[in-house]
Structure 1
Amino acid sequence: MLKIGHRGAKGYVAENTIDSFKEAFLLGADGIELDVQLSEDGEVVVIHDKTVDRTIANASGVVRHFTSDELWRLGDVPTLNKVLHWLPRNKFINIEIKDKKAAHPTVLLIDNFTLNSDLLYKNIVVSSFDWEILKVVSALEPMTKIGVLTEDNLEATFDFAKEIKAFSVNVDYKLLTPEFIEKSHQNKLQIHAWTVNSPEDITFVKNLGVDAIISDFPDRL
């Protein structure tokens, strides 16, 4: 079972920062999950919200209205390029695309790294709640592992995951049932449960037999 740090080690360090990713690995994570959007200068940047208001002190506004340099200077927001350069090559990364305009640049970055470094496709999953984004990613680079994100309709998610030949179904853990997990495994779909933080919930999800757990507290997994 993979242990994945949610936005790094979000429970301990500011989310989606290099420091948070470092902490996740120090706490025993096998991989990290992060979110990407597009900056004003067209860079893929690692930040969850459409605005900077929640995560950058003394700044407000839409992410797309800031350059990547401004985001880095104001709030330690790294580019995906920077994270991929830094990422240990034996670690797993789940890249969640929040902005459809970031889909093509993200695929290009992944292609570049898999061609010019020892980072492998097997260590990368691209996920999104917007399934149209996943269709774009799959069409651009069929080798990309796809993670279908959902927080509601498991049946529709399962059907789409099969249609797009996804690698995993990334599910709100509260929705999981033994039957759904068994059906997914029979169809060669991994189950990645998010965001599981309490010891009781972690035990519950482990007993279900999921393939990965995404948590703010990777040391608890």
Structure 2
Amino acid sequence: MKKTLNIGHRGAKGHEPENTLPSFQKALDFNVDGIELDVHICKTGELIVIHDFTVDRTTNGSGAVSELSLSELKTLRINDEIEVPTLEEVLDLVGKKCFINIELKGRHTAKPVSHLIEKHILEKEYSYNDFIVSSFQREELEMMFTINPNIHLGILTQASVNQALEWASTFSAKAIHPHFSLLTEENVKKAQDEGFKVYTWTINETEDIERIKTYEVNGIITDFPERI
């Protein structure tokens, strides 16, 4: 059986607060092959690593990420002590220790993410293989493909593997990212036969991990990287 890549979901979400520098460091401590994170743009234009469209659930503040400046976001705390990170800060921490799966969660994130990836390739000796950009949003995927077709795309879906494959073909994606409940041995093979990798999310239970591994998926996104 070929190696299944171990991808930490929002870092190591099962151990540290999601999408924080401690969570990404914990994932690195588990020697992950990749980390997955979510990005939005704040009011002043910086890329912020946070899952929700608001800060209410994960921080001691409230309001939409898009309506808060970077300085305002930096005053907020996660678990009373951790700052909300920027994507640049996460890249500085992770370096090239593993690849980074950037999910375009917020609107209008494709262009600044593309620029940041290009900056790191040109100035810091990264390669396109160090990144994969994923999204559920067709508009963001289309924009990223239009801006820079060299950036590796992953098509997220929680509804249909076939639709993901259609989008993957349209946007010359490298991978599909289906929820694990959608997977069968047959559709994994179909995707791979069509030239796409399969990175599935979010699998935490050992029984599910072992079953999905038998389908020979290319990677598993998990809150508990030590279980892969």
Query: TM-score range with shorter-chain normalisation?
Result: over 0.9
Q: Secondary structure at the match of 1:100?
A: coil
Distance 1:132 1:65 in 2: 21
Q: 1:81 aligns with which of 57, 65, 88?
A: 88
After superposition, where does 1:39-188 map in structure 2 within 5 Å?
39-57=42-60, 59-75=61-77, 76-188=83-195
TM-score, with normalisation over the residues of structure 2?
0.94
Q: Structure 1 residue 110: deviation in Å? A: 0.7
Distance 1:110 1:199 in 2: 34
Determine if the alignment matches structure 1 residue 18 to structure 2 residue 25.
no
In the alignment of these two chains, the number of paired residues is 220
Question: Mind listing any 5+ residue stretches in structure 1 that lack a counterpart?
Answer: none
State the identity as a percent.
40
Question: Mind listing any 5+ residue stretches in structure 2 that lack a counterpart?
Answer: 78-82
Q: Structure 1 residue 85: deviation in Å? A: 2.1
Q: Secondary structure at the match of 1:5?
A: strand
Q: Secondary structure at the match of 2:108?
A: helix
Q: Structure 1 residue 149: deviation in Å? A: 0.2
Distance 1:154 1:117 in 2: 36
Q: Structure 1 residue 11: deviation in Å? A: 0.6
Distance 2:74 2:38 in 1: 15
After superposition, where does 1:20-39 map in structure 2 within 5 Å?
20-39=23-42
Q: Could you list the structure 1 runs, at least 4 aligned residues long, displaced by more than 2 angstroms after superposition.
A: none
1:35-81 CA-to-partner distances (Å, cap 9, x unmatched) read: 00010101011000000000002x11111121123223313111111
TM-score, with normalisation over the residues of structure 1?
0.97
The one-letter amino acid paired with 1:218 is: P
Q: What do you get for the CA RMSD once the two structures are aligned?
A: 1.0
